[in-house]
Structure 1
Amino acid sequence: MSSFPDYYAILNVSKVATTDEIRQAYKKESLKTHPDRLTNATPAEKKAATEKFQAVADAYYVLSDPSRRKEYDSLYSTRKEKERTNSPNASANFFSTFANMFTGGAKNTQGADGPAADRPDAEGVFADVFDEMLRPEVQRHAPWWAWTGAVCGAGIGFIVANVPGLMVGAYAGNRLGAIRDAKGRSVAAVFSELGGSQKAEILRALAAKVLGSAASAI
């Protein structure tokens, strides 16, 4: 392989960075490169951002796990500085070339469970790392089941007991739907189904918390 992905450079961390520093670096770089922030991008710009976002996920997947990082570092040490690069293409080639290097199960880019050689699902990695921050934002933007439950409950209540039944049924349906929202689906699944403008708004909110208010406007 002519070029080797420098995952430390991709995450902008030192080679002696701690696991926590790597996690924080991933948060920053993933928000900077997330393609859904580019609401007015051309197809070419969107493609380039998607490739960078995937490479950032690859870097975090490798460096955040002690055993994977140890195996990666052993290869890293054999490469000359001029062979190392932060090019997304190098990351793709890395997973293809060293197909059986890692142990443990990764998620492939289609999101299904696959062999350890598969590249991680970038959106899945993002949702896992940002779960605590992403969950309230997603639920605030997508209370589908809560509203659906309210409408259905209101309809049934009205049939049974007119206006009083409508009000009681709407409340009960809303509460049941909210439970479905909170527990029935993963954050990643709900986030992936949001519209482009909703995703961009959520990402701006996350960026304001992680990168600061100035960076969130990028």
Structure 2
Amino acid sequence: MSTFPDYYQILNIPKTATQDEIRQAYRKESLRTHPDRLANASPDEKRRATERFQAVADAYYVLSDPKRRKEYDSLHSSRSDRTGDPSSSGSFFSQFAGMFGGARPGAGAGAPQQERPDAEGVFADVFEELLRPEVERVAPWWSYFGAVCGAGLGFIVANVPGLLVGGYAGNRLGAVRDAKGKSVAAVFNQLGSTDKAAILRPSQRTRQ
């Protein structure tokens, strides 16, 4: 029989923690356990960090929502096998899927199951203000290219005034191309491990 994940213990908070305390605890633990901080880690260290990072995201997903937290607490108080071991969170969302609107626990193999939260997605949502300044440093090639092309066409059509208008319009169109379909999380995931580690390094911004 699997053990029951103690999400309060995983986030290192008391059961009486406020929503703000839950958020701050998630920020601290997710930064500490994010696998991309371990640029030179062994595969086993990466695996354990990833497991811990996912469990921290699971904990935040459950406890940050008042309804999910209430449903979780009803089970939490009745279980004697609670543990802060990150591996205990693995089966939670399939075993107790009915809590969050998924399939009934014990339903057949073809029944839909509540999916675990995407750890990187949770992280990006909470840390968007941290990640955005860094990922926006990605070179806006299409913005530059659009400005040059627009300026050239504008100059042909209307000399200097056309150059200015065309350059601005081309730059804006290029910026749309740069940003289209790319969330902060998506751009962050495309960065190299060194850049990710630098972004994730604790700073004053994360301690506020």
Give the TM-score taking structure 2 as reference length.
0.80
1:74 maps to which residue? 74
From 94, 97, 106, give the equivalent of 2:95.
Answer: 97
CA contact (8 A) 2:146 2:174 kept: no
1:201 matched residue in structure 2: 198
Note if 1:148 corresponds to 2:146.
no
How far is the alpha carbon of 1:176 from its aligned partner? Answer: 3.8
Q: Structure 2: 5+ residue runs without aligned partners?
A: 103-111
**Partners of 1:63 and 1:184 in 2: CA distance:** 30
How far has the Cα of 1:183 moved from its partner? 7.1
Q: Which runs of 5+ in 1 are unaligned?
A: 105-114, 213-218
| 1:27 partner letter | R
Match of 2:23 in 1: 23
* Alpha-carbon distance in structure 1 between the residues aligned to 2:189 and 2:176: 20
Q: 1:63 to 1:116 in 2, by over 3 A?
A: farther
| C-alpha distance in 1 between matches for 2:165 and 2:143 | 12
Task: Report if aligned partners of 2:150, 2:163 keep a CA contact under 8 Å in 1.
Answer: yes
Q: Which amino acid aligns with 2:22?
A: I
Partner of 1:109: none
**Matches for 1:27-42 after TM superposition, within 5 Å:** 27-42=27-42
- 1:78-157 alignment, distance < 5 Å: 78-80=78-80, 83-103=81-101, 117-139=114-136, 141-144=137-140, 147-155=141-149, 157=151
Give the distance between the partners of 1:101 and 1:74, measured in 2 at CA: 10
CA RMSD of aligned residues (A): 2.8
What secondary structure is seen at the aligned counterpart in 2 of 1:101?
helix
**CA–CA distance in 1 between the matches of 2:128 and 2:8?**
24
What whole-Å deviation, never above 9, does each CA across 1:124-173 have from its counterpart, x for those lacking one? Answer: 1011111233222221x3243xx2221243256457759x7988866654
Deviates more, 1:115-124 or 1:182-191: 182-191
Cα offset, 1:72, TM superposition: 0.7
The 3 A distance-change label for structure 1 pair 166 and 199 is farther
Structure 1 residue 180 displacement after superposition: 5.2
User: Identity across aligned pairs (percent)?
Assistant: 64
Query: In the alignment, which residue of structure 1 is the partner of 2:107?
Result: none
1:167-217: CA deviations, max 9, x gaps?
Answer: 88666544443455567532122212222222222112x5442249xxxxx
Please give the alpha-carbon distance, in whole angstroms, between the structure 2 residues aligned to 1:50 and 1:171.
44
SS in 2 for 1:137: helix
- CA–CA distance in 2 between the matches of 1:116 and 1:2? 18
Q: Which residue of 2 aligns with 1:210?
A: 206
- The alignment partner of 1:100 has SS state of helix
> For residues 207 and 91 of structure 1, do their structure 2 counterparts lie closer, same or farther at Cα, with a shift above 3 Å needed?
farther
The DSSP-based 3-state class of the residue aligned with 1:14 is: coil
Amino acid at match of 1:29: E
Aligned pairs, number: 196
Counterpart position of 1:5: 5
